[in-house]
Amino acid sequence: MAQNDDNLLKKIVAHAKEYGFVFPSSEIYDGLSATYDYGQNGVELKNNIKQYWWKSMVQMHENIVGIDAAIFMHPKTWKASGHVDAFNDPLIDNKDSKKRYRADVLIEDQIAKIENKIEKELNKAAKRFGESFDKDQYLETNPRVLGYKEKIKSIEDRMKAGLESGDLESIKQLILDLDIADPVSGSKNWTDVRQFNLMFSTELGSLADGANTIYLRPETAQGIFVNFLNVQKTGRMKIPFGIAQIGKAFRNEIIARQFIFRMREFEQMEMQFFVKPGEDKKWYEHWKETRIKWHKAMGISEESYRFHDHLQLAHYANAACDIEFRFPMGFKELEGIHSRTDFDLKAHEEHSGKKLQFFDQQDNQNYVPYVIETSIGLDRMFLAVMSSAYEEEKLEDGSERVVLKLPAALAPYKVAILPLMKRDGLPEKATEIMEELKYDFNCHYEEKDAIGKRYRRHDAIGTPYCVTVDHQTLEDQTVTIRERDSMAQERIPIADLNGKIAAYTSINQLLKKA
């Protein structure tokens, strides 16, 4: 996949719609910006990603349990967490195009352009030197690359200093100094930079009763913090232990674009791991390693992932990094790993007046635990999986196919059952096979259109196996099974189908590697 491939993103958006993965929300009313609905195939893929995450975090870890907290929380929660005062984005408007941008994103896009230049230098050098090319040495010694790296560092340092000190004038000056133009109009006529709070608010109760302003949660994590003691006590959990949750979060994103990458309503899969103070650094490294392993177990190219340390730490963190993924728009944040200290629990202690501490029997002392958080956007994971799976292939006979090479365990259907013809008892036999398999796998029965067309349809939604029932099946109880990626076909007994499909498509394959 080429970097910054807008064309690829457009193709994925179109494919996702045509094949029932993702639709624009309320499309008959022309849609609502940055909100999307998952269709019949999309919901299966999404549920499979959730299942992979949940099982690997909860089922595979004896010391991690799950919860499902409410979206609405007491308003004090968001005061305590710092979101009321500090959950802001620095925004800038272009006076000519009237478009609004996140100032830090404009600067980061500029950094990405310089990174692309480094990558181009690397590609050129790799071609020039061939086998003997030493990438690391080149990165450390080539004067042009060193110049680019220095430029990136100086931009990052200025941005970090400006954001951390809240000096928004210096952020505007950086945009002017970098000669950044509006990506839409090319204009460089910018307003000042302002802060904008991202939480959606609504009223609880009727206005006449003196309603309270409440917020739609901007992260699921706070539902975990406020339940820390409930879970610790009722689950008799001992530190270190974790609480995991999957759920919706809402942010009034100003620049919500790039399909499901940045939405106003999205889903998070978060885990808070409570540790003894002083052991936070060790566990932060542990979770960085564990999470990247989870990603790589899916078999997506390792080159598609990289770590990126946060330049500007959130108000609650003493260390933080992102796992970035090579999306069609370039490397972008997919998951955050944050060392959140004891900030949240202490803040909730202060605002609620309740103790949120752990009694350590070994040390005979109470303490407020430190927290390592892993937080991944489910929708971003969906886009990562879709975009790395999408392939347009030219076949030997000159024809073309679009195939979604999804990790088999995540595919919406594991197997399609296809009678070769709509007569001679073949549909009945196919239905009988489907009735057997459907207890273990999500199967799809199809008898319409020529068999080749049906294969193509299932390639396009990523079904790992197609099973064809023909006249020979009626005689010797065998079927043809066709594998999606190689398109290789083999004849096997019906009795072997279950074992073969399970061996390739079971989520356990991923869990064992993760």
For ligand GAP, the binding residues (CB under 6 A) are 219, 221, 251, 253, 262-263, 266, 268, 270, 333-336, 373, 375-377, 379-380
- Minimum distance of ligand GAP from residue 89's CB (angstroms): 11
Tell me how far, at minimum, the Cβ of 256 lies from ligand GAP, in Å: 7
Which C-beta is closer to ligand GAP: that of 317 or that of 416? 317
For the bound state, the minimum distance from the C-beta of residue 113 to ligand GAP, rounded and expressed in Å, comes to 22
* 207 C-beta neighbours (distance < 10 Å), count: 7
Distance of closest approach, residue 331 Cβ to ligand GAP, in angstroms? 13
Of 228 and 441, the one with the shorter C-beta distance to ligand GAP is: 228
Return the number of the residue (118 or 384) whose C-beta is nearest ligand GAP.
384
Closest approach of ligand GAP to the CB of residue 381, in Å: 7
* CB of residue 338 to ligand GAP, shortest distance in Å: 6
Q: Are strands 100-102 and 88-93 parallel, antiparallel or unpaired?
A: antiparallel
Q: Closest distance between ligand GAP and the C-beta of residue 169, in Å?
A: 26
**Residue 20 has which token pair?**
């029932």
Amino acid at 382: F
Strand partners, 91: 102, 194
**Nearest C-alpha neighbor of 194 from the set 101, 264, 98:** 101
CB of 267 to ligand GAP, least distance (A): 8
Contact of 466 with 458, CB cutoff 8 Å: yes
Residue 312: exposure state from Cβ atoms within 10 A (0-12, 13-18, ≥19)? middle
| Half-sphere exposure at residue 39, Cβ-oriented, CA atoms within 13 angstroms | 15
Q: Which is nearer to ligand GAP, 325 or 465 (CB)?
A: 325
Question: Residue 13 carries which DSSP code?
Answer: H
The residue of the chain with the least Cβ separation from ligand GAP equals 377
Q: Which is nearer to ligand GAP, 378 or 467 (CB)?
A: 378
Task: Pick the closer one to ligand GAP by CB: 179 or 309.
Answer: 309
- The residue (of 88 and 498) whose beta carbon lies closer to ligand GAP is 88
Rounded to a whole number of angstroms, the minimum distance from the CB of residue 325 to ligand GAP is: 9
Q: Which CB, 342 or 459, lies closer to ligand GAP?
A: 342
Specify the residue, 93 or 322, whose C-beta has the smaller distance to ligand GAP: 322
**Are the C-beta atoms of residues 409 and 52 closer than 8 Å to each other?**
yes
Find out whether 466 and 482 touch, Cβ atoms under 8 Å: yes
Q: What does the DSSP assignment read for 476-512?
A: HSEEEEEETTT--EEEEEGGGHHHHHHHHH-HHHHHH
What secondary structure does DSSP assign to 394-420, as a single string? E-TTS-EEEEE---GGG-S-SEEEEES
Class of residue 199 by CB neighbours under 10 A (exposed 0-12, middle 13-18, buried 19+): middle
CB of 488 to ligand GAP, least distance (A): 37
The smaller minimum CB distance to ligand GAP, of residues 148 and 200, is found at 200
Distance CA(492)–CA(498), nearest Å, equals: 11
- In degrees and rounded to multiples of 5, residue 319 shows phi and psi of -165, 145
Residue 219 per-residue DSSP state:
-
Q: Is 39 left (phi over 0), alpha (psi -120 to 50) or beta?
A: beta
Interatomic CA distance for residues 385 and 407, integer angstroms: 8
Q: How much of the chain is in helix, strand and coil states, percent to nearest 5?
A: 45, 25, 30
